[in-house]
Amino acid sequence: MSDVQTAPKLRHSPDYLALRGEVEEFLYDEAELLDTRDFNGWLDLLEDDIRYFMPITFNVKFGEHGAGERTRVEEDMSWFNEGKWSLTKRVEQILTGVHWAEEPLSRCTRMVTNVQVTHAEDKNGVEELSVRSRLLLYQNRCEYEQTYFPVRRYDTLRRANGALRIAERKIILEQTVLLAKNLTVFF
Protein backbone atom coordinates (compact mmCIF):
# COMPACT_ATOMS: atom_id res chain seq x y z
CA MET A 1 0.00 0.00 0.00
CA SER A 2 1.53 3.30 -0.96
CA ASP A 3 0.60 6.54 0.77
CA VAL A 4 -0.46 8.18 -2.44
CA GLN A 5 -2.71 6.25 -4.70
CA THR A 6 -3.64 7.19 -8.21
CA ALA A 7 -7.03 8.76 -8.86
CA PRO A 8 -9.50 5.94 -8.97
CA LYS A 9 -11.03 4.95 -12.25
CA LEU A 10 -13.70 3.42 -10.11
CA ARG A 11 -15.12 6.86 -9.38
CA HIS A 12 -16.51 7.11 -12.89
CA SER A 13 -18.58 4.00 -12.46
CA PRO A 14 -22.32 4.55 -11.91
CA ASP A 15 -22.20 2.16 -8.96
CA TYR A 16 -19.42 4.04 -7.20
CA LEU A 17 -21.56 6.13 -4.87
CA ALA A 18 -23.52 3.09 -3.75
CA LEU A 19 -20.30 1.21 -3.05
CA ARG A 20 -18.76 4.14 -1.21
CA GLY A 21 -21.96 4.55 0.77
CA GLU A 22 -21.76 0.96 1.88
CA VAL A 23 -18.11 1.37 2.89
CA GLU A 24 -18.89 4.59 4.78
CA GLU A 25 -21.65 2.84 6.71
CA PHE A 26 -19.22 0.06 7.53
CA LEU A 27 -16.57 2.45 8.85
CA TYR A 28 -19.13 4.44 10.85
CA ASP A 29 -20.43 1.22 12.40
CA GLU A 30 -16.89 0.25 13.25
CA ALA A 31 -16.29 3.63 14.94
CA GLU A 32 -19.52 3.21 16.90
CA LEU A 33 -18.44 -0.21 18.16
CA LEU A 34 -15.14 1.19 19.41
CA ASP A 35 -16.59 4.40 20.85
CA THR A 36 -19.16 2.36 22.76
CA ARG A 37 -16.41 -0.05 23.90
CA ASP A 38 -17.78 -3.13 22.19
CA PHE A 39 -14.23 -4.36 21.66
CA ASN A 40 -15.19 -7.97 20.97
CA GLY A 41 -17.72 -6.73 18.42
CA TRP A 42 -14.88 -4.84 16.79
CA LEU A 43 -12.65 -7.93 16.68
CA ASP A 44 -15.44 -9.67 14.76
CA LEU A 45 -14.92 -7.14 11.95
CA LEU A 46 -11.30 -8.23 11.52
CA GLU A 47 -10.27 -11.01 9.17
CA ASP A 48 -8.22 -13.77 10.81
CA ASP A 49 -5.21 -12.85 8.66
CA ILE A 50 -5.52 -9.10 9.33
CA ARG A 51 -2.36 -6.99 9.17
CA TYR A 52 -2.72 -3.92 11.38
CA PHE A 53 0.20 -1.59 10.90
CA MET A 54 1.26 1.85 12.13
CA PRO A 55 4.77 2.86 11.07
CA ILE A 56 7.17 5.14 12.87
CA THR A 57 7.74 8.33 10.88
CA PHE A 58 11.12 10.02 10.41
CA ASN A 59 12.29 13.46 9.44
CA VAL A 60 14.19 12.88 6.21
CA LYS A 61 15.68 15.30 3.77
CA PHE A 62 13.93 16.24 0.55
CA GLY A 63 14.08 13.48 -2.00
CA GLU A 64 14.11 10.67 0.55
CA HIS A 65 10.44 10.78 1.48
CA GLY A 66 9.36 8.01 -0.82
CA ALA A 67 11.82 5.44 0.42
CA GLY A 68 12.79 6.53 3.89
CA GLU A 69 10.09 8.51 5.66
CA ARG A 70 8.51 5.58 7.45
CA THR A 71 9.38 2.21 8.88
CA ARG A 72 8.31 -0.74 6.73
CA VAL A 73 5.70 -3.36 7.50
CA GLU A 74 7.20 -6.68 8.63
CA GLU A 75 10.73 -5.24 8.37
CA ASP A 76 11.35 -2.53 10.96
CA MET A 77 10.25 -1.50 14.42
CA SER A 78 6.93 0.33 14.24
CA TRP A 79 4.21 1.44 16.60
CA PHE A 80 2.00 -1.45 15.55
CA ASN A 81 2.64 -4.43 13.32
CA GLU A 82 -0.07 -6.75 14.54
CA GLY A 83 -2.13 -9.73 13.60
CA LYS A 84 -5.43 -10.93 15.00
CA TRP A 85 -3.78 -12.80 17.87
CA SER A 86 -2.13 -9.77 19.45
CA LEU A 87 -5.09 -7.48 18.71
CA THR A 88 -7.23 -10.00 20.56
CA LYS A 89 -4.72 -9.91 23.41
CA ARG A 90 -5.07 -6.14 23.54
CA VAL A 91 -8.82 -6.49 23.93
CA GLU A 92 -8.40 -9.20 26.56
CA GLN A 93 -6.05 -6.91 28.46
CA ILE A 94 -8.58 -4.08 28.58
CA LEU A 95 -11.22 -6.53 29.74
CA THR A 96 -9.12 -7.67 32.73
CA GLY A 97 -10.13 -4.44 34.46
CA VAL A 98 -6.58 -4.03 35.81
CA HIS A 99 -4.98 -2.55 32.71
CA TRP A 100 -4.17 0.70 34.50
CA ALA A 101 -3.67 2.76 31.36
CA GLU A 102 -7.31 1.96 30.53
CA GLU A 103 -8.74 1.98 34.03
CA PRO A 104 -10.91 3.94 34.15
CA LEU A 105 -11.60 3.39 30.47
CA SER A 106 -10.77 6.14 28.03
CA ARG A 107 -13.68 8.07 26.63
CA CYS A 108 -13.25 8.19 22.88
CA THR A 109 -14.99 9.79 19.95
CA ARG A 110 -14.01 8.82 16.43
CA MET A 111 -14.81 11.01 13.46
CA VAL A 112 -14.45 9.28 10.11
CA THR A 113 -14.17 11.32 6.95
CA ASN A 114 -12.66 11.53 3.41
CA VAL A 115 -13.83 8.02 2.64
CA GLN A 116 -12.91 6.84 -0.86
CA VAL A 117 -12.83 3.47 -2.53
CA THR A 118 -9.72 3.49 -4.69
CA HIS A 119 -9.74 -0.01 -6.07
CA ALA A 120 -12.01 -3.02 -6.28
CA GLU A 121 -11.14 -6.44 -7.49
CA ASP A 122 -12.24 -10.00 -7.45
CA LYS A 123 -9.58 -12.20 -5.82
CA ASN A 124 -10.41 -15.83 -6.42
CA GLY A 125 -14.08 -15.16 -6.01
CA VAL A 126 -13.65 -12.83 -3.01
CA GLU A 127 -14.27 -9.12 -3.49
CA GLU A 128 -11.50 -6.89 -2.11
CA LEU A 129 -11.78 -3.13 -1.78
CA SER A 130 -8.97 -0.65 -1.22
CA VAL A 131 -10.34 2.13 0.95
CA ARG A 132 -8.77 5.28 2.28
CA SER A 133 -10.18 7.44 5.01
CA ARG A 134 -9.23 9.97 7.68
CA LEU A 135 -9.90 9.38 11.33
CA LEU A 136 -9.86 12.02 14.04
CA LEU A 137 -9.79 10.18 17.33
CA TYR A 138 -10.44 12.16 20.50
CA GLN A 139 -9.38 10.46 23.71
CA ASN A 140 -10.18 11.72 27.18
CA ARG A 141 -9.10 10.13 30.43
CA CYS A 142 -9.68 10.93 34.06
CA GLU A 143 -10.05 14.69 34.39
CA TYR A 144 -7.74 16.78 32.24
CA GLU A 145 -6.01 14.25 30.07
CA GLN A 146 -6.93 14.53 26.43
CA THR A 147 -5.26 13.54 23.20
CA TYR A 148 -6.17 14.01 19.57
CA PHE A 149 -4.96 11.52 17.03
CA PRO A 150 -5.57 12.69 13.46
CA VAL A 151 -4.62 9.72 11.27
CA ARG A 152 -4.83 8.59 7.68
CA ARG A 153 -5.99 5.06 7.12
CA TYR A 154 -5.45 2.78 4.15
CA ASP A 155 -7.59 -0.31 4.42
CA THR A 156 -8.22 -3.45 2.46
CA LEU A 157 -11.78 -4.63 3.05
CA ARG A 158 -12.88 -8.13 2.09
CA ARG A 159 -16.42 -9.24 1.45
CA ALA A 160 -17.25 -12.69 2.76
CA ASN A 161 -20.82 -13.99 2.80
CA GLY A 162 -22.00 -10.53 1.86
CA ALA A 163 -20.45 -8.77 4.86
CA LEU A 164 -17.36 -6.57 4.76
CA ARG A 165 -14.43 -7.27 7.05
CA ILE A 166 -11.02 -5.64 7.47
CA ALA A 167 -8.10 -7.58 5.98
CA GLU A 168 -5.47 -4.89 6.14
CA ARG A 169 -5.16 -1.52 7.86
CA LYS A 170 -2.28 0.88 7.56
CA ILE A 171 -2.44 3.83 9.92
CA ILE A 172 -0.35 6.93 9.33
CA LEU A 173 0.08 9.25 12.31
CA GLU A 174 2.00 12.31 11.20
CA GLN A 175 4.30 12.61 14.22
CA THR A 176 7.98 11.66 14.47
CA VAL A 177 7.96 11.91 18.25
CA LEU A 178 4.71 10.45 19.46
CA LEU A 179 3.03 13.33 21.27
CA ALA A 180 1.06 11.03 23.49
CA LYS A 181 2.21 8.89 26.38
CA ASN A 182 0.33 5.82 25.25
CA LEU A 183 -1.38 4.14 22.33
CA THR A 184 -4.05 2.18 24.16
CA VAL A 185 -6.80 2.94 21.62
CA PHE A 186 -7.68 1.24 18.35
CA PHE A 187 -7.53 3.23 15.13
Partner 1 sequence: MSANGTTASLIDYERGTIAREIFSSEKIFQEELETIFTRAWLYVGHESQIPQPGDFFMSRMGQEQVIVARDKRSKVHVFLNSCRHRGMRLCSADHGNTSLFTCPYHSWSFTTDGKLFGVPQFKNLYEGCLDRAEWSLVEVAQMEIYKGTIWATWDPNAPPLETYLGDAKLHLDMTLDCRDGREGGSEVLLGVQKWIIPCNWKIAAENFLGDSYHNPSHRSVDLIGIGPSAEYGVKGRRDNELDAAQHLWISFPQGHGVHSAQMPAETSDPETYQNNTVVAEYFREANRLRKERLGTEANRLLPFVGTLYPNTSFHGRQPRNICVWHPQGPEQTEAWRFFLVDADAPQEVKDFLRSYYMRYSGPAGMTEQDDMENWNSATAASRGVIARRYPYNYQQSLGRSTRNGPTPGNTALQMSEENARQYYRRWSDYLSGATWDTLLGMKD
Q: Which residues 24-63 are close enough to bind partner 1 by CB under 8 A? A: 54-56, 58-61
Q: Would you call 153 exposed, middle or buried from its count of C-beta atoms within 10 A (0-12, 13-18, 19+)? A: buried
Least gap, CB of 100 to partner 1 (angstroms) = 4
Among 5, 86, 113, 114, binds partner 1 (CB under 8 A): 86
- Mask 148-177, x = binds partner 1 (CB under 8 A)? ----------------------------xx
Alpha-carbon distance 131 to 41, whole Å? 21
Cα-to-chain-centroid distance, residue 16: 22
Check residue 6 for interaction with partner 1 (CB under 8 A): no
Alpha helices in 56-173 (DSSP H): 65-68, 84-94
Among 48, 74, 122, 174, indicate the residue that binds partner 1 (CB under 8 A): 74
In sign, the C-alpha dihedral spanning 62, 137, 48, 93 is positive
> Within 13 Å, how many C-alpha atoms sit on residue 73's CB side?
14
Least separation in angstroms between residue 5's CB and partner 1 is: 24
CB nearer to partner 1: give 89 or 123: 89
What is the pattern of x (binds partner 1, CB under 8 A) and - over residues 96-115? x-xxxxx-------------
Q: Which residues contact 4 (CB under 8 A, 6 or more apart)?
A: none
How many residues belong to the site for partner 1 (CB under 8 A)?
40
